[in-house]
Amino acid sequence: MRVIGLVVILSLIPLSSCAPQMTAEQRRQDIEFLADWARDCSPTIPEKELNTESGVETLRPRYIELAEQAGDNSEFMQIVYGYFHLIGKRGHGYVYPKENLWGLMLESLATGGKGLVNIPWHQFPRAMYWSDRLEESFVHPPFRIQQKADLYFTVDAWRTWFRTIPKGSQIARVNGMTCSDYLRHLKEHSWLRWIAGNMDGIERQLLVIPDGKECRGWDIEFILPDGSSRGEFVPAKKGRPSRQSTEFLDWNQGNCVCVELSKKVGYVRVKAMVHFLRGSDEKKIRDFLKRSGGQYEKLIVDVRGNGGGSTFYMYDTLIRPFLREPVAYRQISGVRRKFRAGMAEADEKRLRAGISTWAWETGIEETIPPTGFDPNEWIFYKIAREVKPSNRYDFDGRLFILTDHGSGSATETYADAVQRIGLGTLIGQRTAGALGNYFMADTIRLPASGMIVRLEADLDVNPDGSIQERVGTRPTMELPSCDLPEKTTKEQLLNDPWIRKILDEL
């Protein structure tokens, strides 16, 4: 029966994902919906920011006008994304890519729309249409780019015909312009002009927004590592560059990797909190530590670039097997009253289940909002948890956890728990700022177009009183930025500055 259902879905998708014909009023409706949600429900946009010069409410009329006048669906998608970029700038804020929509659609089919999302399966093909339009709005070169201050460099060597542009070559000019002039040109002449808010993430990639309708590539002047110059035409590839471009980041190339760095130091790399791998990864770590005979004095758990996944994974694989006895801790989270008001019981259970209710929660009670939060607008909760140990790993040394700005969501749940219970020492840089202790981020369908986006639903308070979605989870020891290893080989790991800090000084 499931196979038949899948065949039916596949046969219907070409019909369901045909280009929708939208009126100006319908396009306006989606912008109004996003603006209303930001004003009434968003936990991450302070009220004082709504009406600033570049605030959501201030920009509402401009984006309504842009949407109403959009020339086609691709342009409308770019305008919606530009406005959404401001609304979803903190926490879980993104337009779902097509591969994620596939998984959610199948889950919705299996649960009758009563699983992780409350959207019927037959509405997902329309959302896939819009995700395709957004993906087509981006391009990237055949090599990765790294920004250092105001300069841009190639992260990979690139071979073209019989010549190679070496790794570490500087991008000096793009289409005859300096990099800063080229970015200014894009802001004036490409759809980059519709993106509201901070554009650092886009500017860091430099060659990611097409310059015109048809972008075949760029004329680039490189300065090679030996100081010589070379000009090349660099072809553009459709879509955004992959986040999982190296073995170090790609969980499909082995999610959990264990390496002995020395007789006294072990290393565990976890690339994602993949729910269905929690049993096999736990066994891999257990076998690795058992082979050491308990000799490790230090164990490094590296979750840099780990964007999260399953809360159960992090408890079952990275916390419980390190415990000797139950540990209790408390967290404080807040939600907007208008978002909470009138919420169906089923939606409350859906948003709380995997992230809080089933995550070792032992009690919950309302509490006084932190300073600066109006109790008429907010409800804050004090959440009590008690995590019980499982079969203990063969390890009695010190635990060090490496985090960075790419550590998000369930990985931040892990970092937060480690700090609160004193399980280990966080080393590196602040996490992404997408924790979620009371509600998981909500999945929302725009009423007219059918685009499906994700937005943060709660606000979480760090132990020091700061807001997690604004500053992330701070490490115990903050270190300067450094390049991530390309691979999880012993040789590359031993050359990593953060790992060397733990080996040599801690």
The 10s digit of each residue's pLDDT in 2-16 is 445 554 555 555 545
- Asked whether 229 and 221 are in contact (CB, 8 A), the reply is yes
The 10s digit of each residue's pLDDT in 384-433 is 999 999 999 999 999 999 999 999 999 999 999 999 999 999 999 999 99
Clarify whether residues 222 and 266 are in a common domain: no
Clarify whether residues 421 and 349 are in a common domain: yes
What confidence score (pLDDT) does residue 161 get?
Answer: 84
The 10s digit of each residue's pLDDT in 275-300 is 999 999 999 999 999 999 999 999 99
* Residue 359 confidence (pLDDT) above 70: yes
What confidence score (pLDDT) does residue 502 get?
Answer: 98
Domain count, the chain: 3
Residues 444-460: what's their mean pLDDT?
97
How does DSSP classify residue 458?
Answer: -
The 10s digit of each residue's pLDDT in 26-45 is 999 999 999 999 999 999 99
Q: How far is 361 from 355, CA to CA, in rounded Å?
A: 9
* Residue 201 confidence (pLDDT) above 50: yes
Residues 124-132: what's their mean pLDDT?
98
Degrees, nearest 5: CA angle 54-58-59: 75
- Asked whether 307 and 412 are in contact (CB, 8 A), the reply is no
Say whether pTM exceeds 0.75.
yes
Give 2 or 478, the one with higher predicted confidence.
Answer: 478
Residue 177 lies in a domain: yes
Q: How sure is the predictor about 214, in pLDDT bands with cuts at 50, 70 and 90? A: confident
Clarify whether residues 128 and 192 are in a common domain: no
**CATH number for position 354:** 3.90.226.10
Give the containing element (helix H, strand E) for 139. Answer: strand 139-140
What confidence score (pLDDT) does residue 5 get?
Answer: 52
Residue 400 domain boundaries: 251-440+459-505
Which ranges constitute the DSSP H helices of 257-408? 278-291, 311-318, 337-340, 345-352
Q: Which residues of 94-115 are buried (b: 16+ CB within 10 A; e: fewer)?
A: ebbeeebbbebbbebbeeeeeb
What confidence score (pLDDT) does residue 424 get?
Answer: 98
The 10s digit of each residue's pLDDT in 73-107 is 999 999 999 999 999 999 999 999 999 999 999 99
Residue 447 lies in a domain: no
Q: Beta strand pairing status for 237-238 and 398-403? A: unpaired
Q: Beta strand pairing status for 217-223 and 170-174? A: antiparallel
Q: Which residues of 374-387 are buried (b: 16+ CB within 10 A; e: fewer)?
A: eeeebbbbebebeb
Q: How far is 260 from 99, CA to CA, in rounded Å?
A: 35
Clarify whether residues 192 and 260 are in a common domain: no
What confidence score (pLDDT) does residue 19 get?
Answer: 87
Mean pLDDT of the chain: 94
Clarify whether residues 112 and 165 are in a common domain: no
Residue 449 lies in a domain: no
Point out the domain boundary residue: 135, 163, 192. Answer: 135
Residues 255-268: what's their mean pLDDT?
98
Residue 487 lies in a domain: yes
Q: How sure is the predictor about 354, in pLDDT bands with cuts at 50, 70 and 90? A: confident
Residue 380 lies in a domain: yes
Residues 482-495: what's their mean pLDDT?
97
Structure tokens at 465: 């009183």
Clarify whether residues 499 and 423 are in a common domain: yes
- Asked whether 372 and 393 are in contact (CB, 8 A), the reply is no
Contacts 24+ apart (CB under 8 A), 244-248: 245/144, 246/484, 246/486, 246/487, 247/486, 247/487, 247/488, 248/305, 248/484, 248/485, 248/486, 248/487, 248/488
**CATH number for position 202:** 2.30.42.10
% pLDDT > 70, the chain = 97
- Please name the amino acid found at residue 77: M
Point out the domain boundary residue: 238, 270, 299. Answer: 238
Clarify whether residues 24 and 86 are in a common domain: yes
What confidence score (pLDDT) does residue 200 get?
Answer: 84
Clarify whether residues 383 and 479 are in a common domain: yes
Residue 211 lies in a domain: yes
What confidence score (pLDDT) does residue 416 get?
Answer: 98
| Helices and strands (H, E) in the chain, number of each type | 17, 23
- Asked whether 94 and 48 are in contact (CB, 8 A), the reply is no
Q: How sure is the predictor about 213, in pLDDT bands with cuts at 50, 70 and 90? A: confident
Q: How sure is the predictor about 357, in pLDDT bands with cuts at 50, 70 and 90? A: confident
What confidence score (pLDDT) does residue 113 get?
Answer: 84
What confidence score (pLDDT) does residue 116 get?
Answer: 86
Residues 236-249: what's their mean pLDDT?
89
Residue 243 lies in a domain: no
Clarify whether residues 97 and 147 are in a common domain: no
Clarify whether residues 174 and 257 are in a common domain: no
Clarify whether residues 263 and 381 are in a common domain: yes
Please choose, from the candidates 102, 98, 100, the residue with its C-alpha nearest in 3D space to the C-alpha of residue 131: 98
Clarify whether residues 190 and 52 are in a common domain: no
Point out the domain boundary residue: 135, 158, 182. Answer: 135
Residue 331 lies in a domain: yes
